Structure 1
Amino acid sequence: MGKNKLLYPSLTLLLLLLLPTDASVSGKPQYMVLVPSLLHTETPEKGCLLLSHLNETVTVSASLESVRENRSLFTDVVAEKDLFHCVSFTLPRSPTSQEVMFLTIQVKGPTQEFKKRTTVLVKNEESLVFVQTDKPIYKPEQTVKFRIVLLDESFHPLNELVPLVYVEDPKGNRIAQWQNLEVENGLQQLTFPLSSEPFQGSYKVVVQKGSGGTAEHPFTVEEFVLPKFEVQVRMPKIITILEEEVQVSVCGLYTYGKPVPGRVTMNMCRKYRNPSNCYGEESNAVCEKFSGQLNNEGCFSQQVNTKIFQMKRQEFEMKIEVEAKIQEEGTEVELTGKGATEITTTMF
């Protein structure tokens, strides 16, 4: 009766079992004891007695019996007229997760006696334990933060004493533990720091419940290394002095082949053969600069007009050099790649 979802099937079951065979006849005495067919230990339950159409004084007794104990629900309740009476009771925790008990009802009067026996299922109330860490992977010297949530079977928060909580490393060593932990309003939050050189691999938080069961939650500790990538500059190996344009592409690829997201800055120069230090960088080379966002393939392409590089003049080196820098999105890690194309006077 303490749990609405169990009440109605229970009442139907016991109503059929406990009514006298002639109860359907109008005016005949009727007796009914209402007890849930599923009872939980350590939780208040309720049993009710209904008597109607009495024509004499009767006494009623009801009890629950099992191999380990007998428990009275009603003891010699006396009724002279119609009666509806309820009592609350709490069953102690069972040594097993569930057991079957016998419900015995006895009604006695001067001219009649009625006795019936049926079974009910008794289960230990089990709390639901959830463990959650603030992230799945940690690095050495980071702080592991986790929470323990305790709920009853109806998902209501519990106040409960947890005998033991501990953290176990990949070698099976306990590296942190808490005993007799008070959980209030269903929630307890804990932290512990990792050492500078912990074992790398799979760890777990273990919560031992008062019932003897356990709940676990895994997490991983590893030395996280940023993915490495390469900057590739793609351009023709040789161009002639008559070429008006040259195609240059810059691509960023991780070592495992995936494209790099980010931006590129590209500097394209033709150096003087005999640079002068008197007039700064402009007297050392002729340069053009480009920048842009890498596409979905991790590349940036530019069609470059060669007019600025004065292709036919001999006082320049006979090559164009490219230096490209890619800045990875999110990390701002920047790597550089280089390329060059030779300028020739030979016509193909």
Structure 2
Amino acid sequence: MKTKKALILTSLFSLLWMSCVNSEYLFTIPRSLRGGSKGTYCLSLRNIDHENPAGYDCQVILSLRTSEVNITSVRAVDSFYSSEPDWNQCVKFDVPSKADKYIASVTVRIDGNELFTHEEKVNVWVAKNITLIQTDKPLYKPGQTVMFRILRMDYNLLPLTNPLELITIDNPGGVRVMQWKNVDASKGLVSLEMKLSDDPILGTWNIKIHGADETYQPFKVEEYVLPKFEVKITPPTYLLPSSPTITGKVCADYTYGQPVKGSLIVRVCFGPEYYRYYNPKQKCVDIIETNFDGCQSISIPSAQLKLGVQKYPGWGSLKINATVREAATGIELNGTSTGPDLTYDPLKIDITDESDGYFKPGFPYKGKVTVTFPDGKPAPNEIIRIKAESYNIDDYWSKEFTTDASGIINFSLSDLWSNILSIHLRATAVKYEENSDTEYESYFQHMSTPNDYKTIFEWFSPSLSYIYIPTIKEKVPCDSTVDLDVIYSTDGSSVNVFTFV
């Protein structure tokens, strides 16, 4: 008597594995199927026991029926012939177009004898088409022409070309004012337009697509006048608690480029969002300029905003609001700027090298320190202390450098210690090291000391010999010869002559 074993795994696939004596059978079908598409099931047979030595017939019967009403939606019968004991086959079948939970039933017969029958639940989902409606602008004035395009795509993002049954435009009252029927979409993209009357209903209108791909796109119709000028605010690029003043700039220009003359009111505030609820004592500073002539620089002592004072919030953003009033007409326009945030890091230091963080004993290690301000601009003439040490020894190396005009320091470590596996580098901005002689009173927030750390490791060499080939930074023509100073280290017991190509 033959015994059977079955193992069902629930995952992305419904999987059935069975064995009968020495024969094995594997059947897989996706757990989730897209409605209206082609699904695929796969059957693998191993060590098939059959009576006919010439081969065997395999028949697979697959059916999908709904779990509730027990109506079969798909029934596929596939027959195969094979003379091999090991056999694999994947077959496509039609997936029902209706989304529902189905019971997939599979029966496999070998030479008319049932090999196995199994049922498993599968889920069929229907992919929705994508419909996009785009107007040439979101806001229209009375009498203007509303132009829009429609693009429909299927699940694979391929354009749909079947006609659109009905397209309508409704006014804010829900009244249909325009419609198109059976619109040709053979090219995939549909372009339509509608001219507004001189006295339309103001408000939100809707472009609607009716049918299976029903959707809508709103647009507004309003009476508006384009502003004649624009207010622009240039805030400081960064903000430190040690900044003695806060500077910025406010400009107002007409659309044709000329400066606006009139008056200016500027309000500058600092603090976290909703700071008034956090600390009622936080104050803003107002600036009034009656003879505004297109641009005005502003400068406010930081003390007036309690910037960096410990009793006030030590974080937040700078907020600037400017109102420009045109002298000729009295028209007022506003401009607003938020940021930058207060930072306690006056400099950013970055240690890099061209050796990917490795050093070779006997060769100088060459590194680079880049120093920038919080806004990313180079920080020249900054004194930076570079320190190198290793946990293996008590000695250390330290030296101070000054950044060049690009905020860069190139340094070299020669005569490296022997028998060390790693070196720890630290670069520190000397001017900002914490000490008791700070020029600011104790109730001010203290800034962080800018520094950066990097650990470099010894390059591994089984022979304890190393070679250094310098980087060629300039362009070199093909088939040309370049002279390089190649450094080679050895223990001195032997000298080798070699050629590098």
> TM exceeds 0.5?
yes
CA distance in 1, matches of 2:108, 2:72: 22
Q: Which residue pairs with 1:315 in the alignment?
A: none
- Aligned twin of 1:71: 74
> Any idea what SS the aligned residue of 1:50 has?
strand
Match of 1:166 in 2: 168
Q: Classify 1:88/1:209 alpha carbon distance in 2 versus 1 (closer, same or farther; 3 Å).
A: farther
Alpha carbon RMSD of aligned pairs, Å? 3.7
| Structure 1 Cα separation of the partners of residues 91 and 131 of structure 2 | 32
Task: Determine whether 1:52 maps to 2:46.
Answer: yes
1:85/1:162 Cα in 2 relative to 1: closer, same or farther (>3 Å)? farther
* Contact 1:52–1:83 under 8 Å retained in 2: yes
2:167 partner letter: V
Higher RCO, 1 or 2 (CA under 8 Å, sep at least 6)?
Answer: 1
Superposed displacement of residue 168, structure 1: 0.7
The change in CA–CA distance for 1:292 and 1:112 in structure 2 (over 3 A counts) is closer
TM (normalized to structure 2)? 0.41
Matches within 5 A, 1:18-57: 18-20=16-18, 22=19, 27-32=22-27, 34-56=28-50, 57=56
CA–CA separation in structure 1 for the residues paired with 2:330 and 2:226: 14
Secondary structure of the corresponding residue to residue 14 of structure 1: strand
Do 1:38 and 1:123's aligned partners in 2 also have CA atoms closer than 8 Å? yes
1:293 counterpart = 2:294:
yes
* Counterpart secondary structure, 1:29: strand
| Aligned partner of residue 204 in structure 1, secondary structure | strand
- Residue number in structure 1 paired with 2:369: none
Q: Distance in 1 between matches of 2:82 and 2:62?
A: 14
Which runs of structure 2 are paired with 1:297-308 in the superposition (5 Å)? Answer: 297-298=323-324
CA contact (8 A) 1:64 1:73 kept: no
Deviation sequence 1:64-123 (CA, Å, 0-9, x none): 2234433223344454533333333334532xxx20122111122467631001111112
State the alpha-carbon separation in 1 of the partners of residues 185 and 10 from structure 2.
33
- Counterpart for residue 125 of structure 2: 123
Structure 2: gaps spanning 5 or more residues: 1-8, 51-55, 230-251, 263-290, 297-321, 332-501
Hey, what's the Cα distance between the residues in 2 that align with 1:19 and 1:146? Answer: 56
- In the alignment, the residues of structure 2 paired with residue 35 and residue 197 of structure 1 have an alpha-carbon distance, to the nearest angstrom, of 62
Partner of 1:99: 100
Distance 1:70 1:87 in 2: 18
Deviations 1:285-343 (A, max 9, x none): xxxxx99535465379xxxxxxxxxxxxxxxxxxxxxxx75799xxxxxxxxxxxxxxx
1:130 to partner: Cα distance: 1.9
In the comparison of the two structures, how many residue pairs are matched? Answer: 236
- Kindly tell me: are residues 38 and 187 of structure 1, through their superposed partners in 2, closer, same or farther at Cα, counting changes over 3 Å? farther
CA contact (8 A) 1:54 1:80 kept: no
Give the Cα–Cα distance (whole angstroms) in 1 for the partners of residues 294 and 25 of structure 2: 86
Q: Secondary structure at the match of 1:195?
A: coil
Question: Which 5+ residue runs of structure 1 have no aligned equivalent?
Answer: 1-8, 230-258, 267-289, 301-323, 329-348
Does 1:224 find its partner at 2:224? yes
Once the two structures are TM-superposed, the CA of residue 61 in structure 1 deviates from its matched residue by 1.8
Whichever residue aligns with residue 72 of structure 1, its letter is: R
Larger Rg: 1
8 Å CA contact 1:147–1:187 kept in 2: the answer is yes
Distance in 1 of aligned mates of 2:44 and 2:76: 14
Q: Compute the displacement of 1:228 (Å).
A: 9.0
Q: Give yes or no for contact 1:41–1:92 (8 Å, CA) kept in 2.
A: yes
Question: Counterparts of 1:48 and 1:188 in 2: how far apart (Å)?
Answer: 42
Once the two structures are TM-superposed, the CA of residue 164 in structure 1 deviates from its matched residue by 1.9
Mapping of residues 142-181 of structure 1, within 5 Å: 142-181=144-183
**Equivalents in 2 of 1:102, 1:79: separation in Å?**
29
| Structure whose residues are more often helix by fraction | 1
Residues 142, 193 of structure 1: 8 Å contact kept: yes
CA apart distance, 1:53:
2.0
Aligned partner letter, 1:28: S
CA distance in 2, matches of 1:114, 1:203: 62
Alpha-carbon distance in 2 for matches of 1:192, 1:99: 42
